[in-house]
Amino acid sequence: MDEDARRWIAASALIGFGQQVYVVLRNQLLHDLDLPMALLGIVQGMGAVTGVIAGVAGLWLLPKLPSAWALRSGALANAVGFAVQVGATHAWQFVLGAALAGFGIQTLTMASGPFLARRV
């Protein structure tokens, strides 16, 4: 197996693990900041909405861009999205962070297939 493929597998495992741990801890963070728990639905929904937007945009853009570029962009958006949420003190920051993370994870998912197909 190609070294890039091994790196991708390791990165995917870390992203998946980190995302699942954070999703559980986000509830506690909202509670600790005295933000309304109703915000949780908006935060979850925003990630899904921007994921759909990334998916539609990706159908058009990803064939025109190198998959390595898309993987880096997706990883950066995902990391920034989670960092914004971790540092959030206001509701809008959680929503913005969720939007970035949703966009990033969808971009990563869509770019992964072509990237790996050329390497495995």
Q: What pTM did the predictor assign?
A: 0.80
Angle ∠(68,117,119) on CA atoms, nearest 5: 70
**84-111, pLDDT tens digit by residue?**
988 888 889 989 998 999 999 888 888 8
Structure-model confidence comparison of residues 82 and 115, the more confident one: 82
Angle ∠(41,45,51) on CA atoms, nearest 5: 160
What is the pLDDT at residue 120? 63
CA neighbor of 5 nearest in space, from 55, 63, 71: 71
**36-54, pLDDT tens digit by residue?**
878 878 888 888 899 899 9
Q: Answer whether 87's CB lies under 8 Å from 23's CB.
A: no
